[in-house]
A and B are shown apart, each in its own frame.
Chain A
């Protein structure tokens, strides 16, 4: 809900408030360091392109400086800065969810609410897949480096090393996904109908109150945006 909120709210105050909430929650959960690293990693590639495209191509009246045919405008800088803050708030909220949610609790809770176990599993597997893929990419990068591939250094060297790195990562991920899904099939995962679950996730009053507070907050922000009370992105 926080990530959706960051998407809805323009300006700086709203997204920064969400970043503050996410970081405070991460500190309590003792995942703050990892959360910042992962969120930056997720945000950076998009942020770089957003900054380049916005600063130099967004129309504006205040020109800060000029590079060749491109004018860097104040409006472009403002738009880029607000977008980057929002992106960080969104990736932070998603990362916090991934790092603090027990996949089993997530699957069982979705199923308890009437969703198909298949959908619930896909959702949990997606959350789980990111660290596994990062770990695999590290192994493949080390293997490629040991065979002389240059994966560090300048932009050109990194670009040249990207393809031999990403192809095995994607192919091995696909193979793993296929084997994982077959292993689940032979455990009757595709069988329709309800399951008698062995365990139900706890749902304390405080958690329910917090969930409802977040939901109400999201609805209020969305209503405020429609009514013109919440700032829009320039």
Chain B
């Protein structure tokens, strides 16, 4: 049997809004994925370390404080450093449309903005995870 997709849901930075992160984490678990949620206030270093250690297939970053432009690319940069670019990175939160192209350039595969269903996010991960 194929092993389930392993996901790390992470809250980088100081933002405390984790309703979305937790709802998504639970929906992914209900969809048969193995989900680890980091809790609040994680540095990009902590997130990447956890991702590598837990051997996850994908990282979901959530940020609603406006610090995404700094925090998300830092995660993908550190993944490159660790030679772990096979991990699919997606993000979500209060993220203005105009910031998305730059984030994608930095290696965030997809950005989910408010109103996205958990089903859409799960479908995307299933289709794009590299393994």
Our verdict on whether A and B bind, yes or no, reads: no
